[in-house]
Every structure is written in structure tokens, then in C-alpha cells.
Structure 1
Amino acid sequence: MNKGRKLLSMTGRFAFIVSLFFSVYVFAMFQGGKVSWTIFYMLTPFLLYSIILFVYPINTIKAERITRSHVVKSGGKLTVTVKLHRSFPFPLLYTVASEQWVDSELAANANNRTKHIFIFGFKKEVEWSYEIERMPRGEHIVEGIEIEVTDFFGWIQKRGFIDLKDTILVFPNTTPMHYAPINAQYDRGSLASPFSLIKDTTMATGVRDYQAGDRVTWIHWKSFARTQNLMTKEFEDRQSEDLIIMLDNRESETFEEQVELTASIVEEASGTQSNIAFVSAGAETSVFPFINSADQLHDVFVHLAKVRPIPAEDVNPLESFTFTAVAGSVVLVTGSPDWPFVQSVMGFVKNRKSVICFVVVNKTVPVSERLQEQIRYAESKGITIHVLGKMQFSDAFKEVANL
């Protein structure tokens, strides 16, 4: 419908220009005189330009977009350069080119510099750059470039769209923190400890006297050849831990801070010897069961860049999701530790005392009475709760390590 209206409008404008041209010509022919022909000769270049512009193929203009990086940190700056080039140098006058971002707020962050007004003239190539300040976390899509050209008096206005789709990922910020394995206490002693000591046989740290039970492959044969005494290589002990990091995707006033804390924990924990999994509880529960490589860590960050808060009633119940309970720990990051949701997390572990709940709050405002009641009730059920503000993220595990 809109295309039909635009076509009728363009056709009407063209008909007006042609009729105006012949009217002025007929007026000069019948009226005669210097004034009449002067008017005709003065209007002729403008009218002819408008007629030629009407048939000018604007879709022959090509575009190229250059971005310094397709991955930006939240709050960072994105620099974009756009180049327009064409093969036929028809003198285009007033030209407006604008980037079409799906999120219209980005244009405001760029101080409306996503739109560029210039005179193309006879040039074959034009370029301009703009910067978008304070890029918000998320997946941002630019569909293409809309071009509008007009004649001297605005009689003919032509619009064209250059399909140049691009996607910019804005990752959440991370806070450096000292991650310490969570030594959860169990009701029945330490036999059910979530930790297991394993030998890193790729790196020998020294040698010692041979003891019964040592593997033959651990014998340091060079020492035996030199001293005729059996010596065994000593290896570095590593601690491994089963750890599930879970993000609560329900709507919250501190949702962006929750995503930032989750990203920080995942990044720090992935550098340890922990067996890490990541769970995103939302309308569809997303699970990343292994984070053992840079590519797997990148996949998690891509999810954290795209994730959006959803209403509480749209969250898929965790009870319906199958996940083998681990003899380890769950770190839950939430803004509302209400018991029905926290209770659904219990299916991921063998003991509720191994659930650590980080409640992210805004420290500039008092904690609501409702949130205080939720925290007290969860603690009465044996859940460890830590209330954190954004400035406390770096020290999040200091108290947890002493549990």
C-alpha cells in the first residue's frame, strides 16, 4: 500500500514538472517578448534536471560499511565508516544517507550522526564516519542504508535502500575477581567432598624416593642411572570441582548487573581446574554443559550478550529440565531469591548447602522488605545468601571461600 502511494506521488510530481515545462514553453511562444523567454530559459535547466533525476537509477549506488570491531564491551564506543560509490557521475545535489538500525535509540547515542547530509556532485565516492557512544549490551542489527536525493526545489524526491545487513555484539562487562573453589559443607562429614585430587602428569615439579604403589611410568630413570636408587617424579596436584553457574533471567531492576556478575564468574572460573557448566533459566532453559575451551567460553558470552529479561510467569520451570545432579556446587545469580524458584534449583545438586546464591541489589537504595523476607526464608532453608552491589563484585568469593 505504501509503495503504491509513493509510486503515485512520484508519478504525480513528474507529471507536474512535464506540464510545467510545456506550460512555460507555450506561454513564451504565445506571449512572446523578452520577459517570457527569459522565464522559460531560466526554468528550463531546473526542469530538465528534475526530469533526468526522475529516471536516474539510484539503485546503482553501492555501499560499504567498515567497523573496527564486531564485538564491543557494554558501555563502549563503536566507530563506523560508511562509503558510498557509483560508476556514473551524474551531478546529484542534496543527498541524505542514513543508517537504518533496528534499535532507534542508537541514533540518539550517536548524536544523530548516523544520518549524513551532503552534495554528491560529480564525485564517484563519498564517505563519512560516526561514533555511537555507550553501546548497550545486546545484539544490535543494522539493516542497511537509506538514500534520498532531491532536486533544487524538492519537486522530485527519490529514495533507495541499500541492503547492507550487519550485526554488532555488545558483550557484558566483566569485573576482575579472585575466584576460589566453593568448599561446600555436607551433613555427613567430608566423604562426600565435591573435590577430587588428580595428578597433572604433564609437569614434574621434583623427585622423591620410590614408594610401593608408584607407577613405573613415574620413575625418574635418569636419577636411577646416576645414583642406582629408584626415584619417583613428583607432579603438581590439581583440584577439580563440579560447578554450575546459573543466571536467573526473570525481570529485575538489576538485571544488567546480574549479567555482568555472571560473566565475571564464568570468565574467572573457566581459568581454574573446575568442571564448569552454565545454565540460563528463561523462557527456554539454555545449558552449556562444558566450558573447557576458548570457543565454548565464547559461546557463553554470545548468549550473555543476547539474553533479555522476561516476565516471571514466562520462565520455564526448572523441574521440567533434565540435568544430572552433581556432587559439586551451584552458584545462582538472581535479583529475587523467592523460594519457589530457589527450590527448583535443588534438582541440580545433591545437597542444598552447596547452593550459593548471589543476590544483586542496588546499594544506593534501601533493600525492600519483600526482598529481605525472601532472603531470610531462603537462609532458613539452608541456602547460603550473599547480597552484593556492583562495587562488591570483585570480592564476591572472599566470604564464600571460607564456608
Structure 2
Amino acid sequence: MSKRTKNFFQFFLLLVFLFASFSYAMFQGGFVSWFLFAAFCPIALYSLLIRSIPMKNWSVQRTLTHQEYQAGETLVVELQFQRPNAFPLLFLIIEEEISEKFILRTGQSLKFMAHPLFKKTFTFRYTVESLPRGEYEFSSVKLKTGDLFGFITQETRFKQVNRFFVYPSYVEMVYEPLESKFEMGKTATKDKVQRDTTMAISVREYQQGDRFSWIHWKASARKNDILTKEFEQRQSHDILIVMDCSESIDFELLVTFAASAVRAIIKKGAQVGFISHGKQRDYFPIRGGEPHLRKLFYHLASVEDNQSIPFSRVIEMEKISLLKNQLVLFITTKCTKEVIDQIGSLLSRKVSPVLFIVKSQSNKLTAEEQSLVDLARQRGILAKTIYEGEFVRSFVRGTW
């Protein structure tokens, strides 16, 4: 039913009720029948006035306290309304039109009721707690009002675009370099990772955290940009993370672990790269510093568990790009024989693989998965199961 047809039907129904009450009073007579007609007349008049007063000349403004949030935080939204007259409105239904994935993840629609009455200017504020990670957009505000019995309704939509971003949650954890677990006689330290600066082999763009003494002044002058020296490293402290994006009930937990690990590694002073396969392959080269951390968090905020191929196939596809002596951290929520076989094959290529299996407390490791973890360790793969609430000890020496 079109909007015009709906309005005509409502108006026709109102006239029918008005004529019926008048006819009843005329034919029945008496105090009761005329009282009913007299009582219905103000309602009918109010309904007709609501229909005649347009809402399109209202002004609606939405204000967000922030544009960026952390998952789990509270969103506070303030809607400011301004209308040209003080016609009394008994109720006003406010519906926020927002990205569909926000409604799916929160399980709630942003629909509220206000009572402006005679106010020409009024403010409506609401909150949404426990924000889920992601990028969302408010597209418009839909308003609906009418009479008390719903004979006449009027609605309109105001385009009001606001975007906000929710970064994934993370857990504070201490990163201890995993190279010491592959080589005897080395122990982890709480100091920042130090890079070997004995030999400069190339130059690259300046990154936050680079030392002043690393700047290559001649190259910077030629390129008219700040360039720093890239040094040969006798012992790499860089990590490449490959994340499983298969559909899983623990996927949100996996994202939290990935965000926590990335943050801990970069805060330690090491560098990290990232690979995830969803509907497309997303690759982030090994870098360090706050800008790179922010870029990775931005990706983790929008990543979905929509991987179309098995994780074992992803590992097989990425073999070619892995470098000798590179430390690769594979994170997944389930352990399979195919995954263990593919990771095990990397050992012959002199790659140092580490496997993290992330589980919630309600989804414990099965006996079959435990046997696969034992098999991985027998093959020389560092494998570890991390449960929800234990992330802080993920890289701690002595827990392997």
C-alpha cells in the first residue's frame, strides 16, 4: 500500500467513524448518544489537525559523543528536534536507521518513544551499551506521530548521516620474544626488542619509533622526504600472524586474542605482519609503530568469519611467500589434522611456526584436538591452547 493510499484510507475511516457517531446520536437520541458524539468530535478535530500540520519543516540534528570506540564501551547519542509550532504531540516514535549488521550483532533495533507535548525545541538522548566491534553508519532518523487511537498517522524521514567506528577489545599481555624458545641458551627479557644496527642494507620511509640516528640524510635530501636506514638483522624479532577466518562460535574471542597479540608485540618494540583470508585476502607487511598498530586494529574491527576455503588450504597458499627463518604465528579456534600437516611442512623450509588454538571456557578442547596438539609438539611445532581469561599469559616463558 502506497503512502498516499494509506493516508486516504485513514482519512476516510475517520470520516466514517464521525458520520457513524453523528447518525447514532440523531437516530438514538438521549444523553449517552450525544455525549459519545461530543466526546468523539475533539478527537476527530485533533486527528485532522495532525494531518494538516506537516513534519517536513522540522529540524533534526544527531550528535555522538565520539566517533571512535572500543568494543564493550557505551554509545551515547543525542537527538535535537526543532519545530516551527507548539502544536501538542501526545507521542513521537523515533526510529534510528543504522547499518543492518549493527542490529544483527546487538540484537536490538533503535526505536524509542518520546512525548514532546507543547515543546517547540526538545532533546532526546539514548545509550547503547556493550558496543560490538565494527564500522557503522547512521543514515537517517524516521519520525512517526498521530492521534491517540491511530486514526491518523504522519511519518517522515530526515537524512542525517553519522559514522562511528568500534575497535576490537584487547587484553593487556606481556610479549616475550619467541625466538628464545627455538634456540637453546637464550632467555626472554622484559626490555624492548633491540635491532642489530651493524650494517645498513637499504633505506625506507620514516616510521614512528625510529631513532634519530637512523635517518639517512643524503637519501632524505634526494627524495625530499625523511628516510631511515634499514639494517641487516642477525636474529629476526619480526612476527607474521596468519589468522583463521573460518566460521566459528569463538571467532570474536579469536579477534580479541589477535588484537591483544598485535598490540603486545608492537609495544615490545618488535614488528608484526598480518594475513587474513575472508572473501578476499588481506595482507599487511611487517611493520612497527603506532600507525601500523592503528591500521591493524582498523582491519580487525571489520574482519568477518566468512573464509570460503579451509584454513589448511590458506596455509598451503601462503607457503610460497614465507621467508627462511621467519617466525609465523598461526591462530585458529579449531585444530585439524590437515592444519597440523601443513604447518609441519614449514619446518623443512626453515620457517619457525607457532600455533595458538583459542577457545572459550564453554568450548573446551576435545580429546581428538588434544591428540593433534600433542602430535604437533612431537613434530617440533610450538602449539598452545589458550582459553578465555588466560590471554595475559599467552607468551610467558614457562607456560609452553
Alignment of 1:164-183 (within 5 A): 164-183=160-179
Give the drift of 1:248: 1.2
Give the drift of 1:277: 0.9
Match of 2:59 in 1: 62
SS at structure 1 position matched to 2:86: coil
Match of 1:280 in 2: 276
Structure 1 residues not aligned, in runs of 5+: 205-236
Aligned partner of 2:140: which letter?
G
Match of 1:210 in 2: none
Q: Does 1:123 align with 2:119?
A: yes
Aligned partner of 2:82: which letter?
H
Per-residue displacement from partner, 1:23-61 (whole Å, max 9, x unpaired)? 777999999999998776654443233223223322333
TM-score (normalised: structure 2): 0.74
Structure 2 residues not aligned, in runs of 5+: 187-193, 199-209, 215-232
- Judging changes above 3 Å, is the alpha-carbon distance between structure 1 residues 347 and 7 closer, same or farther for their aligned structure 2 residues? farther
Aligned partner of 2:171: which letter?
T
Q: 1:333 aligns with which of 331, 345, 349?
A: 331
Give the drift of 1:382: 2.5
TM-score (normalised: structure 1): 0.74
Q: Is the 8 A contact 2:138 2:162 kept in 1?
A: yes
Q: 1:296 aligns with which of 285, 292, 296?
A: 292
Aligned partner of 1:60: which letter?
N
Match of 2:386 in 1: 388
Match of 2:196 in 1: 197
Q: 2 CA distance for matches of 1:196 and 1:107?
A: 44
Per-residue displacement from partner, 1:155-204 (whole Å, max 9, x unpaired)? 101222233343433322222222122216779xx9xxxx9611687479
Q: Is the 8 A contact 1:137 1:305 kept in 2?
A: yes
% same residue: 24
Alignment of 1:68-87 (within 5 A): 68-87=65-84
Larger Rg: 1 or 2?
1
Match of 2:141 in 1: 145
Per-residue displacement from partner, 1:353-385 (whole Å, max 9, x unpaired)? 611111122346642022113213333332110
Instruction: Identify the structure with the greater strand proportion.
Output: 1
Aligned partner of 1:152: which letter?
L
Per-residue displacement from partner, 1:109-164 (whole Å, max 9, x unpaired)? 7xx8x433233233222222222222233334444322110113321012222333
Q: 2 CA distance for matches of 1:186 and 1:118?
A: 64
Give the drift of 1:286: 0.9
Give the drift of 1:287: 0.8
- Judging changes above 3 Å, is the alpha-carbon distance between structure 1 residues 351 and 176 closer, same or farther for their aligned structure 2 residues? farther
Aligned partner of 2:292: which letter?
Q
Per-residue displacement from partner, 1:256-283 (whole Å, max 9, x unpaired)? 2221111111112113443321111333
Q: 1 CA distance for matches of 2:306 and 2:275?
A: 16
Q: 2 CA distance for matches of 1:365 and 1:258?
A: 13
Q: Is the 8 A contact 1:107 1:132 kept in 2?
A: no
Q: 2 CA distance for matches of 1:169 and 1:144?
A: 17
Q: 1 CA distance for matches of 2:172 and 2:152?
A: 58
- Judging changes above 3 Å, is the alpha-carbon distance between structure 1 residues 238 and 172 closer, same or farther for their aligned structure 2 residues? farther
Q: 1 CA distance for matches of 2:242 and 2:124?
A: 43
Larger mean CA deviation between 136-145 and 264-273 belongs to 136-145
Q: 1 CA distance for matches of 2:234 and 2:74?
A: 41
Q: 2:365 aligns with which of 364, 367, 370?
A: 367
SS at structure 2 position matched to 1:394: helix
Larger mean CA deviation between 323-332 and 312-321 belongs to 312-321
Q: 2 CA distance for matches of 1:196 and 1:38?
A: 92
Aligned partner of 1:78: which letter?
L
Alignment of 1:16-95 (within 5 A): 16-18=13-15, 43-95=40-92
